[in-house]
Structure 1
Amino acid sequence: MMTSRLPTVLITGATSGFGRAAARRFGEMGYALILTGRRQERLAELADELSQHCAVYTYSLDVRDSEAVVDMVQQLPQEFRNIEILINNAGLALGAGVAHQSSLDDWHTMINTNITGLVNVTHSLLPILLEQPKSTIINLASIASNWCYPGAHVYGASKAFVAQFSRNLRSDYAGTPLRITSLEPGLSESEFSLVRFGGDQDKYNQIYNGTNPLQPEDIADIMLWIAEQPSHININSIEVMPTSQAWDNFKVVKS
């Protein structure tokens, strides 16, 4: 295993989408990586791929389980304990139908992952981050944090929590070396959308046909840029869309 002189990055949800792209981007730059996710086989594959570039530690983790999060932090090897960058990426959307036809279980899963999971990890890592001379939290929110659209009910509300939580954390730690960013992507092509539609490839294809969506690598590049800003700069939030997407006119329903 290689050692790294660059900061240590902890990435949740590193087994797909933005998280996996971030692991590759930071890893290729030589950052030490702590990669978490629920699919151990994918974590192992990433570790094999990236260990030639950097030090990698993986931990199978469900962020919704607060005790498991605490255990993970307590079990970190000494060489990975000085975490300077936290990327709260674990999250999901389930369903896109009208609210009263949606699954209550899906609603609870989104709340427990997008809100509770993010809070669990952040609370456990704050003491470590605050010990560092420069530290960064990047919280993956969404354009749904700021803009409403049909079918976004609980998903959008959960991401609005992420954006507001980021701002409130920044208020708590003004004047400290801890920076907090809400990163808010728009239309992005990844496994995220396939999960949202329950694995329905046709629905997935309909979303992206004729568009040029953001790719996970685009978001990973932005994460790296945020993390590498000089220590006196805090990027409060970034809302990013592909050029094939923009704000829609307010909807008017005629009777």
Structure 2
Amino acid sequence: MSSRINTILILGAAGGIGEATARRFHSLGKQVIVTGRQQDSEKLEQAARELPGLHYRIWDLTQLDTLQAEVDGILRDFPQLDTVFVNAGIQHHYDIFQNPPPDLAQQAVQELTTNLTAPILVAQAFAPHLLSLAKQGVKTNIFLTSSSLAYFPVPFYPTYCPSKAGIASFCKILRWQMEATGVKGMNVVEVAPPYVDTPLNAHHRDQTDALQGGPEKAVQPMTLSEYIDKFFQLLEETKQDGSIAHEIGVGFGGQGQKAWKQGYESLLKGSGMTD
């Protein structure tokens, strides 16, 4: 529910879904802070010129040794930050057995660091602040972006798929641990987009299309504008107590989340490990 969001930090917002999400929240009158890497500085500067009041930070999430300092700096400048949206991600296409890239190990580490390790560390670093505000009666939220590929892995992305599956799992664990504190008013939300037309896979889209039999037979992406409209529509579909839904999945992403809840979650509850 967007009305419970006032000041939002969106990580990975120099393009694609992150940028479009930031622009929509800005249009709703929210205070928005966005981040991107050094090579994205011109895009971030342009966004700040176009969107009065938008703040941006240059933050490379793969630099893990500076992560806590970045978090501390943001909280110092925005002490009433109530929402963190961890959206940063990269995607590599390769085959482990046939023509693997010469820098396979380095590429895999970079992808896992960006997509899984850094988001977990970011969430852990902001969690005490968000929980503290929630104890004071401020509604707080943390969104983490997984993917439909967290639930439906494909052979094109041997590192991307497991990294997003890890995010989906971490969201559930973070939520369970937060709920165990007894504090109300803090939401942990897993966002699972489908295949969306963004620059994420632009450099290898022809290859993945070819592996599916060509562009005519390949799965086609949802337009970015359609995805953003559907995401914000689902954001407003709150639970009975007025809080944001635990999962926001569009298209195939929503189907994956639903299948997990109907299957694995019920089995997990039956084991007695969760309520």
After superposition, the Cα gap between the structure-2 partners of 1:17 and 1:204, relative to the gap in structure 1 and judged at 3 Å, is: farther
| 1:155 counterpart residue number | 160
Q: 2 CA distance for matches of 1:149 and 1:192?
A: 16
What value does the CA root-mean-square deviation take over the aligned residues? 2.8
Deviations 1:89-110 (A, max 9, x none): 0011111434662522221111
Matches within 5 A, 1:73-112: 73-76=71-74, 80-98=78-96, 101-102=100-101, 103-112=104-113
Q: Which AA in structure 2 matches 1:155?
A: Y
| 1:21 counterpart residue number | 20
1:31 CA drift (Å): 0.6
Secondary structure in 2 matching 1:9: strand
1:188 CA drift (Å): 1.0
Whichever structure has more helix as a proportion of its residues is 2
Deviations 1:30-65 (A, max 9, x none): 1101110101111111111111xxx32211001122
User: % of aligned pairs identical?
Assistant: 24
Q: 1 CA distance for matches of 2:43 and 2:9?
A: 16
Q: TM-score scaled to structure 2, two decimals?
A: 0.74
Extract unaligned runs of 5+ from structure 2.
Answer: 257-275
Equivalenced residue count is 233
Q: Is the 8 A contact 2:75 2:81 kept in 1?
A: no
After superposition, the Cα gap between the structure-2 partners of 1:204 and 1:217, relative to the gap in structure 1 and judged at 3 Å, is: farther
Q: TM-score scaled to structure 1, two decimals?
A: 0.80
| 1:251 counterpart residue number | none
1:120 CA drift (Å): 2.3
| 1:40 counterpart residue number | 41
Q: Is the 8 A contact 2:231 2:248 kept in 1?
A: no
After superposition, the Cα gap between the structure-2 partners of 1:194 and 1:212, relative to the gap in structure 1 and judged at 3 Å, is: closer
Q: 2 CA distance for matches of 1:204 and 1:47?
A: 34
Extract unaligned runs of 5+ from structure 1.
Answer: 247-255
Q: Is the 8 A contact 2:11 2:85 kept in 1?
A: yes
Deviations 1:128-149 (A, max 9, x none): 2111411111111111111122
Q: Which AA in structure 1 matches 2:243?
A: I
Q: Is the 8 A contact 1:85 1:227 kept in 2?
A: no
1:116 CA drift (Å): 1.3
Q: Is the 8 A contact 1:64 1:113 kept in 2?
A: yes
| 1:249 counterpart residue number | none
